[in-house]
Structure 1
Amino acid sequence: MESRHLTLLRELRDRGSVAAVAATTWRTPSAVSQQLRTAERDLGVRLVEPDGRGLRLTDEGRVLAEAALDVETALARAQARLDEFRDRLAGEVRVAALPSAIEYLAPRLLTGLRDVPIDVRLDDVDVAEEDFVGLADDYDVVIGHTVRAVPQRRRGLAIEEVVREPLDIVIPVDHRWATRRSIAPDEAIGEPWVATPPGYPFRRLLERIERAAGRPAEVVQEVRDNRVVEALVAAGVGIALLPRFTTRPNPAVRLLRLRDVDSARLVLAMARRDRAERAAVRRVIQELIAIGAGLGAGSRE
């Protein structure tokens, strides 16, 4: 039994099709199919079966796919220990992150690792909350966020809290609340809102405000980009939620604290368990946690 066969089965389980596996692993679909046949011949069991126009794992294939991550994690852990013994903390680490977090994390991360031979490759992504975990199949570290008190877990995924970041209500500078410092949910719900689309953490927080106030918000615009949100608020289109760490001073808007509702997001670092064992990946995650601790200490409410 070869580990590459197990990895192939895990990829097929996670990605759902031979074509998707081929595209991700830079192989042709015929090459992937040939490797599956080779694995079946070597293991002496049928691993895949027809499913419409594609293939799906058999029960035996699913058993082996489930075991793949344990094998991959053990191999990565052994390699990490060897690298540490030989003092070889190096390598490329691919990081995908939501823009509103990478804006304050990335400069500090790259500066902190300047003298370490780790090549961090950044990619900014903005997807719905549930879609961040899927990115861990393609990146070494994924920086996502949630407004849940406890982040959702996925088997085979290591998740670390980086920082708890307050989300504030942003209003135009000439709003009638401009001299106030905080606002209650039943007051905020009566205003028109500029919100993210459903499924995004900031929208989930708005839904929490709606429940606290006992009535729905009037959402007049749905946009993802925080800079666009800020511009619309400044123009008087509505009020919104923005993250405290990356909302720069702007004379056209004011930030207010939200009372009586847990109005913070958790910024998370996620990695597949086998990748999280790599020494370079561990170092990147440790650096992110240290950065988050410093940011959190400076923003205690």
Structure 2
Amino acid sequence: MDERQLQILRELGELGSVTAVAEALHVTPSAISQQLRLLQRTIPVPLTERAGRRLVLTQAGQALARAAIEVETALARARHTVTDFTEQPDGDVSLAAFHSAASAFFPLLLRGLTGPGRPRLALADEDVAQDRFPALTRDYDLVLAHRLDHGPPWPRTVTASTLLREPLDVALPTGHPLASKTLLLPHDVADQPWITVHDGFPLMSTIEAIASVANRRLDITHRINDFAVAAEAVAAGAGLALMPRWTTRKHPNLVLRPLGAVHARRHIDVLHRPERTARRAVRTVLAQLHHAAAQIQNQDTHAPHPGADTTATP
């Protein structure tokens, strides 16, 4: 038995004929009769009987019709409850982000979503390999993920939108001989020691591209995923590193220079399961993320010094 069948039984009890029920529900009499037959198969006693040319409810049918009113009332309450939940402006919203995105976006979100009637954020850091980001949408409403500009797309099981297309620059100590250049090429940096991320993380593809264009294997001395830690290692003279231009904090002892001859840019995308945005609170946070992305790009505090080549900038 289902809601539609119970509704038909209730209307039959009130209207007194299949034809009248069909007119009230804007369907054919045969469709009404078919639903009544399907309902009857699930009930061990007769629900209707003939009274002359009319089909009327038996006592069992009348009892079930009264119960149908209670069922319809309960379902209406449930629908209103769901509507209230989805339209609640200050609902809880969980958001996960990898480290550099968390550092850039979390403060802007927390400041932008303060006050009554705003979503309540539950923030978490999740620094995982690229292929593991989609699975995080099972546990979080929204997930900030990264992939290279030319990397494979996200699976169709999640909805994705791009917040930033962020250039990747070469980070050097301020006194490094290459710091005087406005644009670095792979052959400029191929003989330098390198600090890079662990295998499986998107930036490794750009490191491999540098090695391919320079036609030599890079000397990778350290594997550090956290850009803040990597920045300290670069500043200490441990090697060069790739750094996102906008989402890493400015370091007083580092300079960033754009990289030419290779495609050095990453996407910062927000992933979610399609049903999550049925909630107003999630939609509010999603809109605030796009607003924060515009703020981050407009600040551009890590842009190369004047006169630098900016062809990598989106």
Give the structure-1-normalised TM-score. Answer: 0.68
User: Mapping of 1:57-76 within 5 angstroms?
Assistant: none
1:89 maps to amino acid: P
Letter in 2 for 1:185: P
- Residue in structure 2 matched with residue 160 of structure 1 by the alignment: 161
Deviation at 1:122, TM superposition (A): 0.3
| Alignment match, 1:219 | 220
Q: Which residue of 1 aligns with 2:292?
A: 291
Alpha-carbon spacing, 1:95–1:112, altered in 2? closer, same or farther (3 Å): same
User: For residues 123 and 244 of structure 1, what CA distance do their matches in structure 2 show?
Assistant: 23
Contact 1:182 1:257 in 2 (8 A): yes
Deviation at 1:297, TM superposition (A): 4.3
Residue range with higher mean Cα deviation, 165-174 or 93-102: 165-174
RMSD over equivalenced CA pairs, Å: 2.6
Query: One-letter code of the match for 1:100?
Result: S
Would the aligned equivalents of 1:140 and 1:272 in 2 still touch at CA under 8 Å? yes
Mapped pair 1:184 → 2:185: yes
Deviation of 1:170 after TM superposition, in Å, equals 0.7
SS at match of 1:177: helix
Name 2:93's counterpart in structure 1: 93
**Contact (CA 8 Å) 1:146, 1:266: kept in 2 or not?**
yes
Query: For residue 220 of structure 1, what is the amino acid of its counterpart?
Result: T
**What is aligned with 1:114?**
114
How far off is 1:249 after superposition?
Answer: 3.4
Q: 1:79 to 1:195 in 2, by over 3 A?
A: farther
Gaps of 5+ in 1: 3-77
Partner Cα distance (1:268, 1:276) in 2: 16
Write the letter of the residue equivalent to 2:123: L
Q: Distance in 1 between matches of 2:228 and 2:249?
A: 10
Give the residue type in structure 1 aligned to 2:260: R
Output the CA distance in 1 between the equivalents of 2:298 and 2:231: 26
C-alpha distance in 1 between matches for 2:81 and 2:210: 46
Residues 87 and 121 of structure 1: is their aligned pair in 2 closer, same or farther, counting only changes over 3 Å? Answer: closer
**Cα contact 1:96–1:142 (8 A) shared by 2:** yes
Are the counterparts in 2 of residues 194 and 219 from structure 1 also a CA contact under 8 Å? yes
Residues 260-299 of structure 1: pairs in structure 2 closer than 5 A: 260-299=261-300
Partner of 2:211: 210
Q: Return the letter of the residue paired with 1:195.
A: T
1:32-87 Cα shifts (integer Å, max 9, x gaps): xxxxxxxxxxxxxxxxxxxxxxxxxxxxxxxxxxxxxxxxxxxxxx8899349x96
- Any conservation in 1 of the 2:95–2:141 contact (CA below 8 Å)? yes
* 1:153 Cα offset (Å): 2.2
Tell me, in whole angstroms, the C-alpha distance in 2 between the residues paired with 1:267 and 1:281. Answer: 18
Distance 2:93 2:106 in 1: 13
Distance 1:246 1:213, change over 3 A: same
Q: Is 2:119 the partner of 1:149? A: no
| 1:230 Cα deviation from its structure 2 partner | 1.2
Residue 149 of structure 2 aligns with an amino acid whose one-letter code is: R
Q: Which stretch shows the higher mean deviation, 265-274 or 227-236?
A: 227-236
Q: What is the distance in 2 between the residues matched to 1:291 and 1:232?
A: 29
CA distance in 2, matches of 1:129, 1:174: 34
Q: Is the 8 A contact 1:198 1:204 kept in 2?
A: no
Deviates more, 1:109-118 or 1:135-144: 109-118
Letter in 1 for 2:93: V
Q: CA deviation at 1:258?
A: 0.7
Decide whether aligned partners of structure 1 residues 79 and 233 sit closer, same or farther in structure 2, where only a CA change above 3 A counts. Answer: farther
